[in-house]
Amino acid sequence: MTTMIFPGQTIGIIGGGQLGRMMALSAKEAGFKVAVLEPTMDSPCGQVADICIVAPYDDEAALEELASVSDVITYEFENIDYEGLKRLTEIAYVPQGAELVRITQNRVTEKEAIVKAGCPVAPYFVVDTYDDLVTHIDKIGYPCIVKTARGGYDGKGQQRLNSIDDLPLAKGLIEHSQCVVESFVPFNMEISVIVQRNGLGETYCLPVGENIHVHHILHETIVPARISNDTLNQAEQAAIKIADHLQLIGTLAVEMFVLKNGDIIINELAPRPHNSGHYSIEACNISQFGQHIRAICGWPLRKPVLWAPSIMVNVLGQHVVPLTNNISKYPDWSVHLYGKDKAKVNRKMGHVTIMTNNVELTLDEIEKSGIWSE
């Protein structure tokens, strides 16, 4: 069973960042009102919301207030308070539930869920102490990557070990928290599949994106990914398997490595719209944000269609001035800036989407613009 939410009703969003903002804009387009819970004033989402509750994410009174003004509640990022979200599910309609957040907040439970869904992950083991690492490292050998079980993103909370001499480099991470030790996968490409599902089990994947990272931060997403049909099928089937296993309602981004032989390995999950899906605002008949709103509101989903090959480029703090100075030169670029107050280096401030008939030429145009040369 699923509950249908109608235009004029209120969607509550936990988290006031850019993902919340773009969710809110899609919700407003369909006639919904928007409430946001966010600790900072004048957040990207708060700027476009009808109701702003400024409080920490785990503030019980604030969560109760959000419940009282919302007909359905969603969230824009996974590092929210699980216990608070669980309590919220008892007093409000939270179709995504709290379990999805519990599983994806922790790399250990996340990997277990991926394996249970029948999908491949890199060889790994879990360590609680530095001695565990030293004792069991031969299980997977070198090179390997030590990742904190909780809280890592954009390359934070990770340490690559190339040989036995590097073992001490992981000491700080393991003293901080439980860690996962993964075999390093020699991959050809990183891709992401954004899968979306409503309460009736209706499921669609957005066109698969090829992701290029610089300094562990997503730089470009190229759509469609330059992969074989066999790899494409593997990727979409894996994402749908995981979504079904987790009984997903809403959005799940499944990040994957493509190996030299075309096979895939699942890297990690994000239970929300994802940076690599921003291209869908212009380039598809339904954006990841519009589809997310449809999914949580019990509406039928739309089968995504890509209008043209596209490239999405992230705009970090150091790129804002060069980009705005060059807007007049690039009429075909769709510029999105998120309304953040300070343009700090490496802070995600916006993105640009370019629909194109020639991906290579457009990649060259991006390079030659000089905007992203650091």
What single-letter DSSP state applies at residue 353? E
Delimit the domains of the chain by residue range: 10-94, 123-183, 187-369
Looking at residue 101, its pLDDT comes to 96
Domains 123-183 and 187-369 belong to one CATH topology: no
**pLDDT exceeds cutoff 70 at 155:** no
Asked if the model's pLDDT at residue 374 lies above 70, the reply is no
Q: What is the mean pLDDT of residues 226-254?
A: 98
What pLDDT, on a 0 to 100 scale, did the predictor assign at position 255?
98
Return the pLDDT at 78: 86
Output the CATH code of domain 123-183: 3.30.1490.20
Confidence of residue 151 (pLDDT cuts 50, 70, 90): confident
Q: What is the pLDDT of residue 250?
A: 98
What is the identity of the amino acid at 5? Answer: I
Question: Which amino acid appears at position 317 of this protein?
Answer: G
Q: How confident is the model at residue 154 (pLDDT cuts 50, 70, 90)?
A: low
Percentage of residues of the chain with pLDDT beyond 70: 98
The CATH architecture assigned to 187-369 reads 2-Layer Sandwich (3.30)
Tell me, what's the pLDDT at 164?
95
Fold exhibited by the domain 10-94: Rossmann fold (3.40.50)
Q: Is 13 left (phi over 0), alpha (psi -120 to 50) or beta?
A: beta
Q: Is it the case that residue 1 has pLDDT exceeding 70?
A: no
pLDDT value of position 153: 66
Average pLDDT over residues 69-89: 93
186-208 residue pLDDT tens? 999 999 999 999 999 999 999 99
Distance CA 13, CA 242 (A): 24
Q: What is the mean pLDDT of residues 93-100?
A: 97
CB hemisphere CA count around 324 (13 angstroms): 10
Task: Count Cβ atoms within 10 A of the Cβ of residue 60 and give its class: 0-12 exposed, 13-18 middle, 19 or more buried.
Answer: middle
Question: What dihedral angle (degrees, nearest 10) is formed by the CA atoms of 340, 344, 346, 349?
Answer: 20
Is residue 2 very low, low, confident or very high in pLDDT (cuts 50, 70, 90)?
A: confident
pLDDT 10s digits, 297-333? 999 999 999 999 999 999 999 999 999 999 999 999 9
- Is residue 325 within 8 Å of 371, Cβ to Cβ? no
CA separation for the pair 21, 292 (Å, rounded) = 13
pLDDT tens profile 344-368:
999 999 999 999 999 999 999 999 9
Mean residue pLDDT of the chain comes to: 96
pLDDT of residue 157: 87
